[in-house]
Amino acid sequence: MQIRRRVAFLAVLAGLTLVSSASAATITVTTASDDITPNDGSVSLREAITAINAGNDLGDPDIKNQNATSGGTMPFGTNDTIDFNLPGSGQHRILVGSSASAPSVPLPQIGKPVTIDGTSQSGSEVNTLTNADNAVTLVLLDGSGAGLNASGLFLAAGSNASTIKGLDVFGFGAEDFEIQSSFNTIVGNDIGFDLGGAPALSPRGVLIQEASLNTIGGTTPATRNIISGNLIDGVEILGSVSSAAELNAVEGNFIGTGPTGVSALGNGTGLPAGAGGGVQLVDANSENTIGGTQVGARNVIVANGGAGVLLTGSQENQIQGNFLGVGADGVTPLPNAAGVWLTSINAGPSAQKNLVGGTVAGSGNLIEFNSGAGVVVKGATATENGILGNSIDANGGLGIDLGNDGVTPNSPGGPHSGPNNLQNSPLITAVTPGQSTTTLEGTLNATPSTTFRLEFFSNTACDPSGFGQGQTFLGSTNVSTDASGNVSYSATVPEVVPASAGVAATATDPTDNTSEFSPCFLPPTGPLTPTPNPTTPTPTTGVTPIQPGGPPLGLAPHLALGLAKAQKDGSIVLTGTTTVAGKVSASGTLSGKGSAAASKHPRRRHKTPAAVFGPVSSTLAAGSFTLKLKPNATALAQLRAGKRLTVMVTLTLFPVAGGKPLSSAATVSDRLPRGHRAHHR
């Protein structure tokens, strides 16, 4: 379907190109006045747009087609150009709606293909810088007098394949740019803020409404737009059930910062995280791209009040290669309220099958310093959203938050009901450095008989929650769970984890449901000793305490039960990790239909004890641990009788350094194999 749709679009574009080869008019704007008085010796922008739409000179001798043959008539084509030759030097402000001939009247909607070229004004210069913007923009389009609901430049139906460049557009009551046609390019503009210093009050910088294949920005410095200072969104792509908004690209722009790339000039300042911001997609389905993998496609999306990128009820879109929360220098903190926010609409469209990052070169985003979470996936139907290959670090909330409700504990098996199916994260139990590689070991409990992509990340410091973010992508491996949903892994990545760095991981299922980050694993204190042979690293079998009596500075105490697995003898083996040393007690009790309380024997004076596993009490060092819970006589008798018992396992740890006890729980199904049942009878 996507291929056929692309072919159809390309065919339309080819047709537009052939038509545009006909004679085309060039009209030069010679006054900054918004006047429409004919034969007054000048041409306003309003008059030029009106003439393009009409396909003639309006009977006004001032409107001259520079491409007309000497002494000939004015042949208007279908790809006309509006240039500027405004008298005087410096900036020229066109105050829309200020003329007595068009009081408080918006500019005409553009109904034919046209190029409006602000760079044609003498003294203008395009940007040449990679990480800043030195463009000189001299034509300012001020909408403060155009009326409450006026849009600035409105590309209506029929204006396909238009280009607007080199303008400063701001202050309109609706949008600075509104696009309802396709194949248009908006490049090299300043949108939403006034270079002349007047307040800018536009709700949105650019609105693409039910339109496709438009490009906002580009991959070269000259095509960069600065889209900042708008009240709600920098860019909004709006679709509907009946009219798609697809295959649009927002690339290479500064969104929420000024020309330096390291200043705060946010969109949607003061909005809550799930309401507007830098770029918002609403019901926008199918292959809209924010950023990209090409050199120069990176957007710098910072200092926005809602979120850097907000996808509301939108599907099959890509967010790749961007800086979100960090300036164009890759260092300066400029937090959005959240980095990326994917949300489903209640009883409405779902946020599904979107990709944040990716597995190809250049696709990963840098998501740092945001006030809230790095990536939020919210809503029960917000599923199949891949979060892969990014650098996510130093955000005020979790690196990845499924549900926007803090750490989501792992639950046995899967898939579960909730955002990204509440995909379980892996556990890391050992990290072994080599000369040029690192071997990571651990476990995953998730959907049975399924292959998962595990991604590993190192962090200079663990997140205060105890769960990792993902500062530096180390590598990945694929693992497959068994029929019980369990797998142990040993993966070698082509990076050496720095001494004292924390390590975290994510798991992604075959339909791109990505988990939150795992608990942060810290290596032993002191320098790590590389294994002598990098091709055959020797895995560690234990973990030295992280810190005697407590976690490292800034790391919250944490206890995580990673795996509860029934054994052939009826016992249950527990594995997990803890960031603090302490005394732990663990036990398993029956739940559900398998419950069995203490009962009184009809011919005896004593009660049969309740079926339990354990208890066990042990002193644990910080790091990974293994505990074994044996069934008591009542539980073992039920197992021998062939019953399948549902066991709720609980752990409680009392830190040796004091503080609140930590707890963790899991449910496991236990049943003796048939042969073992016969043997015990």
The CATH number linked to 578 is 2.60.40
Which of 108-112, 484-488, 657-661 is predicted with the least confidence, judged by mean pLDDT? 657-661
Say yes or no: 125 and 93 in one domain. yes
pLDDT tens digits, 320-364: 999 999 999 999 999 999 999 999 977 678 999 999 999 999 999
Say yes or no: 481 and 336 in one domain. no
Instruction: Pick the more confident residue, 5 or 349.
Output: 349
pLDDT tens digits, 140-176: 999 999 988 999 999 999 999 999 999 999 999 999 9
Q: Among 185, 202, 219, which residue terminates a domain?
A: 202
The confidence band for 270, taking pLDDT boundaries of 50, 70 and 90, is confident
The strand pairing partners of 442, in sequence order, are: 428, 489
The confidence band for 673, taking pLDDT boundaries of 50, 70 and 90, is low
In angstroms and rounded to an integer, the radius of gyration of the C-alpha atoms of the chain is 31
Q: Which of 384, 389, 394 is nearest to 419 (CA)?
A: 384
Q: Which domain holds residue 450?
A: 423-532
Inter-residue contact 94 to 129 (CB < 8 Å): no
The whole-number pLDDT of residue 33 equals 97
Which of 91-105, 135-149, 513-527 is predicted with the least confidence, judged by mean pLDDT? 513-527
Is the confidence at residue 571, as pLDDT, over 70?
yes
The confidence band for 197, taking pLDDT boundaries of 50, 70 and 90, is low
Which residues of 407-513 form beta strands (DSSP E)? 427-433, 438-445, 451-459, 472-480, 486-493, 502-508
Residue 332 in tokens: 């300066």
Is the confidence at residue 526, as pLDDT, over 80?
no
Q: Among 385, 408, 431, which residue terminates a domain?
A: 408
Instruction: Pick the more confident residue, 478 or 201.
Output: 478
The whole-number pLDDT of residue 334 equals 98
The whole-number pLDDT of residue 73 equals 53
Which of 92-106, 322-336, 613-627 is predicted with the least confidence, judged by mean pLDDT? 613-627
Inter-residue contact 116 to 69 (CB < 8 Å): no
Is the confidence at residue 515, as pLDDT, over 60?
yes
Query: CA 473, CA 476: separation in Å to the nearest integer?
Result: 9
Alpha carbon 209 to chain centroid distance? Answer: 22
Dihedral of alpha carbons 13, 14, 19, 22, sign: positive
The confidence band for 275, taking pLDDT boundaries of 50, 70 and 90, is confident
pTM of the model: 0.78
The whole-number pLDDT of residue 20 equals 44
Is the confidence at residue 541, as pLDDT, over 60?
no
Burial of 379 (0-12, 13-18, 19+ CB in 10 A): buried
Residue 220 placed within a domain: no
Query: CA 224, CA 221: separation in Å to the nearest integer?
Result: 6
Instruction: Pick the more confident residue, 222 or 675.
Output: 222
Residue 590 in tokens: 């029956």
Instruction: Pick the more confident residue, 10 or 642.
Output: 642
| Cα within 13 Å of Cα(165), Cβ side | 25
Is the confidence at residue 550, as pLDDT, over 70?
no
Q: Return the DSSP state at 425.
A: P
* CB burial string 630-643: b at 16+ within 10 A, e below: bbbebbbebbbeeb
Is the confidence at residue 626, as pLDDT, over 70?
yes
The confidence band for 430, taking pLDDT boundaries of 50, 70 and 90, is very high
The confidence band for 447, taking pLDDT boundaries of 50, 70 and 90, is very high
Q: What is the mean pLDDT of residues 224-240?
A: 95
Query: CA 319, CA 56: separation in Å to the nearest integer?
Result: 43
Is the confidence at residue 599, as pLDDT, over 60?
no
The whole-number pLDDT of residue 544 equals 27
The whole-number pLDDT of residue 50 equals 95
The whole-number pLDDT of residue 349 equals 82
State percent of the chain over pLDDT 70: 84
Q: Among 408, 431, 459, which residue terminates a domain?
A: 408
The confidence band for 23, taking pLDDT boundaries of 50, 70 and 90, is low
Q: What is the mean pLDDT of residues 502-531?
A: 81
The confidence band for 199, taking pLDDT boundaries of 50, 70 and 90, is low
Say yes or no: 182 and 258 in one domain. no
Q: How many helices (H) and strands (E) does the chain have?
A: 4, 45
Q: What is the mean pLDDT of residues 94-119?
A: 95
Is the confidence at residue 385, as pLDDT, over 60?
yes
Which of 449-453, 553-557, 659-663 is predicted with the least confidence, judged by mean pLDDT? 553-557
Instruction: Pick the more confident residue, 636 or 6.
Output: 636
Which of 385-389, 486-490, 557-561, 564-568 is predicted with the least confidence, judged by mean pLDDT? 557-561
Residue 226 placed within a domain: no
Q: Return the DSSP state at 59.
A: T
Q: Which of 664, 669, 649, 665 is nearest to 594 (CA)?
A: 669
Say yes or no: 356 and 241 in one domain. yes
Residue type at position 133:
D
Say yes or no: 404 and 431 in one domain. no
The whole-number pLDDT of residue 527 equals 39
The whole-number pLDDT of residue 593 equals 39
Question: Domains in the chain: how many in total?
Answer: 4
Q: What is the mean pLDDT of the chain?
A: 85
The confidence band for 594, taking pLDDT boundaries of 50, 70 and 90, is very low
Residue 573 in tokens: 């083996």
Largest Cα span, the chain: 122
Say yes or no: 517 and 581 in one domain. no
Say yes or no: 357 and 454 in one domain. no
Say yes or no: 130 and 191 in one domain. yes
Inter-residue contact 274 to 313 (CB < 8 Å): no
Instruction: Pick the more confident residue, 627 or 604.
Output: 627
Residue 209 placed within a domain: no
Is the confidence at residue 383, as pLDDT, over 50?
yes
Alpha carbon 331 to chain centroid distance? Answer: 19
The confidence band for 530, taking pLDDT boundaries of 50, 70 and 90, is very low
Residue 630 placed within a domain: yes
The whole-number pLDDT of residue 635 equals 85
Residue 541 placed within a domain: no
Q: Return the DSSP state at 579.
A: S
Say yes or no: 575 and 636 in one domain. yes
The confidence band for 607, taking pLDDT boundaries of 50, 70 and 90, is low
The strand pairing partners of 479, in sequence order, are: 452
Q: What is the mean pLDDT of residues 435-456?
A: 96
Say yes or no: 355 and 466 in one domain. no
The strand pairing partners of 236, in sequence order, are: 207, 280
Query: What's 436's domain CATH number?
Result: 2.60.40.10
The whole-number pLDDT of residue 257 equals 96
Residue 207 placed within a domain: no
Q: What is the mean pLDDT of residues 617-633?
A: 83
Is the confidence at residue 105, as pLDDT, over 90?
yes
Q: What is the mean pLDDT of residues 124-133?
A: 98
Dihedral of alpha carbons 58, 59, 61, 67, sign: positive
The whole-number pLDDT of residue 577 equals 78
Say yes or no: 243 and 390 in one domain. yes
Angle at 410 between CA 409 and CA 414, to 5 degrees: 140
Is the confidence at residue 556, as pLDDT, over 80?
no
Residue 478 placed within a domain: yes
Say yes or no: 453 and 342 in one domain. no
The whole-number pLDDT of residue 675 equals 54
Residue 12 placed within a domain: no
Residue type at position 181:
S
